[in-house]
Homo-oligomer: A and B are copies of this chain.
């Protein structure tokens, strides 16, 4: 046993008086090696508790068994579920995942991309930060042709595979649901102006209004972030209006929950005084009182599909054409409408 305690192929070779190359081939069950040698090698390997050094293998193969994942924030329900899906798929395919978060910070996202590239990951799965408008760091990936696919929060002007949920349809259905229920003044607590998912949800909202001959009132749309406090402040803004809305469609559940709190705080009743619809179907949405009508988003599935696409791309080399997948959303009607 060496001082490091780590057994290498050379140790096995030395003890068996054969060459390292023979040991390597024996361990890989190469046809050139005699059954006896193979057996001797394998038993000694087991005995010494030998495990191949992935680092050395990666250097030699010029590719690791690592998949890099970048998300805005791990603790967000949607992302942790997506990561779970990614991990499950990656695990089965023999990959491990390196997870890093941008904390909605563009610079940190860039640093993360570079760090993962330095680690020579086999591919990347990326959900971009709120503040990512520039896509230079993705060009870098293209140039070094590292496979990567976007999920959920995609970068529209980059030609890569993308896995999204049908934000437009989800928002459309949610808004239409409110219209059918007879609500007249439907407000929208929108997300950041320039990220794809909130743009699409806004479009769905607008489109539903239009196709149902409802007036689109700009004042009823409040832009903000994606968190609870944005819901709170957004609702405060709506309160300033001379005429209050009778329903709110929020860009996601946290924002809806934020508004929810403020609504209750002001003694308003849901859905009597004001109806509320979220987006994501976070576990929490079923448990508030009244339970929240929301749009179910298959987070785990998004992660899974993204990982599968990436692995496919990794395996198929240069001749892979990027694909986009849009996963279906589903309106979950509860008592908040």
Contacts and interface: CB of A to CB of B under 8 A. Distances in A.
A4 interface: yes
A303 to B, nearest CB: 10
Contact of A74 (B6, B62, B80, B140): B80
A101 B91 CA distance: 9
Interface in A25-57: 49, 51-56
Interface in A43-89: 49, 51-56, 58-59, 62, 64-66, 73-77, 79-81, 83-84, 87-88
A120 interface: yes
B287 A257 contact: yes
State the oligomeric state as a number of copies: 2
A143 interface: yes
Interface stretch (A109-117, A157-165, A181-189, A304-312): A109-117
B119 A62 contact: no
A212 interface: no
Contacts of A211: none
Interface stretch (A92-100, A242-250, A322-330): A92-100
Given A5-B143, A96-B98, A96-B115, 4 more contacts: A51-B118, A87-B99, A283-B284, A287-B288
